[in-house]
Structure 1
Amino acid sequence: MLHLKKYSYVAMLLLLVAPAVQAQQALPPLSLKALLQRVDQKAPALIADSAAINIRRAQATETRNNWLPNLKLNYQADIGTNNNTAGPYFGFGIIPSNSRGVRTDNNTNAVLTNLGIAALDWEVYNFGAYTAQNKVAKSDIQVEQNHFAQSKYQLQAYAIGYYMQLMRLQDYLAIQVRNIQRTSQIRRSIESLAKSGIRPGVDTSIAAAELSKARLNYIELDNQLKQVQLQLSAISGLPYQAIIPDTSAEKRLIDGVTLSMLPSADTANHPLISYYKSLLQNSFQREELVKKQYNPKILLEAAAWGRGASVDANDQFNALSSGFGFNRDNYLVGVGISYNLFDLRRRHLKLRTQQAETDYARRSLDEQRSLLNLGISQADVELTTAKQRLVEIPNQLRAANAGYRQKLSLYNSGLTDIIDLNAALNILYRAETDYAQAKFDYTSALFQKAVTGNQLSTVLNLLN
């Protein structure tokens, strides 16, 4: 019966671990570069930002065509009275026109008239306002493009961070498998010793509890790994099961990358700085537009029209049907200049508002430069500290491993108890997890330095 129970525990362990192992073997690992390429192509946020660029381009095309003239064609046929009186008035756009001199008598006879007009209205020149509008439109496109580049860069950093977490969780799962195996080995030894009367039966219960705890830890870690895979799946379009990190990349980063390999930080061309620079430049262009949009406007006006009416030159009211057709033709061409003197005040007020926005954009750019420089310094410190941990932590791991083997040997010889053995096992487990965490800290600090210093492509190339 004891042997059957022992084999059932081993079978349960295999059933727990085998699916993850088989999944790892069935699917090839996904390199970090391949993941980032998928993110660049499939991330919903980037697809939306790219559509925003197209909106700005369409708006720029619309702005470039602001110089086009207005050419309106109108025709109307009207029936009514022609009964004027003397005196001035403001039309307010609602009093209809009624052309004819004043008659001595009131006359309410109906008249039919028709009128056809072709009218041209063209703002020929506005002293640079068109040019300023086009520059603002181009600047808007540049802002949107730089925003897209910044979003892409930030999303790459986001994906890299999750990829590093996947590698760490894979390390944790491997550690947990070893911990389950060690705990199972201890339990089998305790069962043999308890059966022969060397160890009390309570040790069997303690070992069973430790084994169950190790299995639960494995289940929790596996859940965390799947959650990270799902996050990466959402931005890459890949099935989450296919996102298996290439753990050899971690070793190449730790063993093959040194600080001397990284070039100096290039914050001047950092996507974040480029974006804020474009915001500042856009604000400058809007200042120029404010200065020019209130300039005088030179206008070309032209019109040609024909008229007909059922009342003739002798003031005879003829049949209404005689009002169709044109019997008078006219044209008018003129050049004019328009300027509103109160626009001087409006321009001053609007320019002051825009200058305040320019000052805000400048201060925001300075803030981002300071934050990047701070981030670079912090990354340097963290990278140095993480490297020191990696150098020291193998000593802890070797000592913990040796201590565990000694305690296991002493326990099997009856020279120590289960409490001391579990303590040694926990120390070894903590040393292994500390080592996995130290590797994660180092690679994360390395990529943090690369992202902050605009050196991401350099580090990715080192993974080849």
Structure 2
Amino acid sequence: MRERSRNRAVWSWRWIGLAAVGCMLSPGRAVAQPAPSGPLSLYDAIQLALKNYPAIKESRARAQAADEGIGVARTAFLPRLDMLWQENRATHNNVFGLLLPQPIVPPISGPVLGTRSYDSVWGSAAGVQLSWEAIDFGLRKANVDVARAQSVFGKARSDLTELDVAAAAADAFVTVLAADQAVRAVAANVDRLQVFANTVRTLVANQLRPGADESRANAELAIAKNQLSQAVQAAEIARAALADAIGAAGIAVEPAIGRLANPPDLTSAVVADLTTHPGARAALAAVETVRARERVLDRSYFPHVSFQTVLAGRGSGAQVPGQPLLGDGLWLQVPNWAAGMSVTFPAFDLFSVKARKRVELQNELAERARYDQTLQNLTTQNARARALMKAAVEIARNTPVERQAATDAESRARARYESGLASVTEVAEAQRLLAQAEADDAVARLGVWRALLAVMQAQGNLQPFLNQVR
């Protein structure tokens, strides 16, 4: 019997232990924000988390950056305008012959003068070139599609972050309420044990009970006080975790139970299409991004048809034999213009394009496998959440019966002890059973709310949950 009593004492604190662990597992760390004024409702806590939590600000900024990438991709349709102005001082020796393209030796225009002089003259050049790729066979549109796919992925990731942060804030809120209920239950047990210890002390002083009974009663009271300290500690840790979850780390938060005092409406927990879950949408968007990159590669091995026009001018202080000197070269002297079209085709890019296609094909297979795994995880998470909700509902229906029976048993055991018909061990067992029943009943209704939250999170939509707590 004593072993069962100890086991019940251990299991009576499972909510406190889960509360402490849940506090430590809240995502990320938040920068301290202004303290909420007055008691905080669950709906307000979630709204504060969505407004203040740094992870949400980060995900929204990244989603906006991906959306701006669409505009960047569209700029490829615009023409290109390049301008140049140059002044130089150089020699004008020239030779006849070919020079392969390279960035080191500057080209020299004009006739071969046969000179080797180090005398220099001024030279100038300026020009404006307008170029536009008129035909690209869909390459630029494919790049825009890649940017759109990345934008969809960023938005889905942002929605997933908001879902996780909101669910974490709601769970932390319920954890605080459960910890407070546990503190009240343990405090009531301490008061009850204090009264019983005083009664036993009186009976022992009158030599109506052995001194061992007083020692046992004092030990039970000390254990209950230690349990109360542990419960208070768990409640304080839960409050710190709640403050962090709403983006107000280090700020004192006092939650109000509000509508959580009543049972939730479980009709909203209907079976949902898990493909609409933000996690599934993000995984599918990753697949579409890879496919968009594959379409870019499909459009890459085509000619590029470009229109070009240029207006330029040159000036030089060098004199050609038999020709008059036009100036000192510091200013433009000879104008030119040109207009035309050019067709370029990177023939040997075929090998790199094929290699990159093979890479993207494997990337697509990997992303599709990840999408399938995501759906499988969500399905499992949904099934677990529904099992949790079913058990939580049954427990909430049973705990009032458990508490009433434990209360009656404790009263009768105490009365039998005072009449000399029961031992102190029987009373201690009954009081432990009552403490267990009170703790279970205190958190049972909150357990149903937490289970409903888990179902809504697994389905990817907290709105039905929020409608009930608003």
- Normalised by the length of structure 1, the TM-score is 0.85
* CA positional deviation for 1:148: 0.6
For 2:90 and 2:39, locate their aligned partners in 1 and report how far apart those are by CA, in whole Å.
86
State the alpha-carbon separation in 1 of the partners of residues 114 and 432 from structure 2: 118
Partner of 1:404: 410
C-alpha distance 235-445 of structure 1, shift in aligned 2 (>3 A):
closer
Match in the other structure for 1:270: 277
SS in 1 for 2:276: coil
Q: Is the 8 A contact 1:73 1:118 kept in 2?
A: yes
Report how many aligned residue pairs link the two structures: 433
**Residue from 150, 157, 169 that aligns with 2:167:** 157
The equivalent residue for 2:216 is: 206
Distance 2:118 2:224 in 1: 106
- Residue identity matched to 1:243: E
2:397 alignment partner AA = V
Q: What secondary structure sits across from 1:325 in the alignment?
A: coil
1:438 and 1:100 map into 2 onto residues whose CA distance is 95
Matched residue SS, 1:187: helix
1:8 equivalent in structure 2 = none
Deviations, residues 98-136 of structure 1 (Å, cap 9, x unaligned): 222224565554333222222333333312122112221
Give a deviation string over 1:317-354, Cα, whole Å, max 9, x none: 979x7333333221122210111111222222212211
Tell me, in whole angstroms, the C-alpha distance in 1 between the residues paired with 2:124 and 2:246. 67
1:248–1:411 CA distance, 2 compared to 1 (3 A): farther
Aligned match of 1:196 in 206, 230, 240?
206
Correspondence 1:187-336 to 2 at 5 A: 187-238=197-248, 240-246=251-257, 248-253=259-264, 257-258=265-266, 260-315=267-322, 322-336=328-342
Structure 1's 143 and 223: CA in aligned 2 closer, same or farther, altered over 3 A?
same
8 Å contact 1:114–1:323 — kept in the other structure?
yes
Shift of 1:456: 2.7
Cα deviation, residue 241, structure 1: 3.3
Write out per-residue CA displacement over residues 58-105 of structure 1, whole angstroms, 9 at most, x where no aligned residue: 333322223333323222233333222222221412111222222456
Q: 1:63 matched to which residue of 2?
A: 73
Matched, 1:111 2:121: yes
Alpha-carbon displacement from aligned partner over 1:139-164 (angstroms, at most 9, x marks no partner): 22221111110111111222222222
Instruction: Give 2:87's aligned residue.
Output: 77
Partner of 2:24: none
Query: Partner letter of residue 346 of structure 1?
Result: S
For residue 378 of structure 2, the aligned residue among 348, 369, 372 is: 372
Distance 1:272 1:85 in 2: 68
Letter in 2 for 1:206: R
CA shift in 2, pair 1:56/1:453, >3 Å:
closer
Return the match for 2:427 from 421, 432, 438.
421
In 1, distance between residues paired with 2:398 and 2:126? 94
* Structure of greater Rg: 1
Q: Percent identity?
A: 21
The residue number in structure 2 matching 1:16 is: none
Letter in 2 for 1:433: A
2:147 paired with 1:147: no
| Alignment RMSD (CA, Å) | 2.6
The farther-off stretch of 395-404 and 334-343 is: 395-404
After superposition, give the CA deviation of every residue in 1:275-315 in whole Å (9 maximum; x if it has no partner): 22222222222221222234321122222222222233435
Q: Distance in 2 between matches of 1:152 and 1:178?
A: 39
- Structure 2: runs of 5+ lacking an equivalent: 1-36
| Alignment-mate amino acid for residue 186 of structure 1 | F
Structure 2 letter corresponding to 1:242: V
Q: Contact conserved, 1:232 with 1:240, CA < 8 A, in 2?
A: no
Which range moved further: 197-206 or 139-148? 197-206
State the SS of the aligned residue for 1:77. Answer: strand
Distance 1:247 1:214 in 2: 30
Which protein is richer in helix relative to its size?
1
Q: Would the alpha carbon gap of residues 310 and 453 (structure 1) be closer, same or farther in structure 2, given more than 3 Å must change?
A: closer
The CA deviation at 1:183 is 0.7
| Contact 1:386–1:442 under 8 Å retained in 2 | yes
Q: 2:20 maps to what in 1? A: none
CA contact (8 A) 2:414 2:427 kept: yes
Tell whether the 8 Å contact from 1:84 to 1:101 is kept in structure 2 after alignment. Answer: yes
Counterpart-to-counterpart distance in 1, 2:334 and 2:39: 86
1:106–1:409 distance in 2 versus 1, CA, 3 Å = closer
Match of 1:22 in 2: none
| 1:173 Cα deviation from its structure 2 partner | 0.9
- The one-letter amino acid of 1:79's match is R
The aligned residue for residue 30 of structure 2 is none
Distance 1:450 1:310, change over 3 A: closer
Distance in 2 (CA, whole Å) between partners of 1:87 and 1:397 is 105
Indicate how the Cα distance of structure 1 residues 387 and 112 shifts in structure 2: closer, same or farther if over 3 A, else same. Answer: closer
Taking structure 2 as the reference length, the TM-score comes to: 0.84
Q: Distance in 1 between matches of 2:438 and 2:340?
A: 89
Amino acid in the other structure paired with 2:288: Q
SS in 2 for 1:323: coil
